[in-house]
Structure 1
C-alpha cells in the first residue's frame, strides 16, 4: 500500500493504519488505547509507527 495512503489513514483512522502496517501487535493495542484517550495521541503514535517502519525499510546495510 502506498505510504501516502497510510499517512492519510493515520490521520483519519489511526488504529487501522497501524493494523495495516504491523498487524495485531503491541503497537496496534497501544494505538487503540491512545486513540480512546484522545484522537491526537492516536494520530501521533500512528505517524510515529509508520515513520519508524519506513526508516527500517530504507536502511542500507
Structure 2
C-alpha cells in the first residue's frame, strides 16, 4: 500500500515522493532540478527511485 501511495504522489508531485522515499539528499536535489526544468523527467526519475 505504501508503494502505491508513493507512485501516485510521484505522478502528482515528484519531489515529495522522492523525499519520502530517499530522504533529503542528492536524489532530492536532482529531482527538484529535473522537475523545474521539465516536469516529465522529474516524474520518470521519481518512479525509477521508487520502483528500483
Higher helix share goes to which structure? 2
1:7 aligns with 2:7: yes
**Normalized against structure 2, the TM-score is what?**
0.95
Q: Where in structure 1 do 4 or more consecutive aligned residues deviate above 2 Å? A: none
Query: Secondary structure of the residue that 2:51 maps to in structure 1?
Result: helix
Q: Which has the higher contact order (CA 8 A, sep 6+)?
A: 2
Structure 2 distance, partners of 1:37, 1:12, is 16
For structure 1, the residue ranges without an aligned partner over 5 or more in a row are 53-61
Coordinate RMSD, CA, aligned: 1.0
**Paired positions, count:** 52
Instruction: Say which one has the larger Rg.
Output: 1
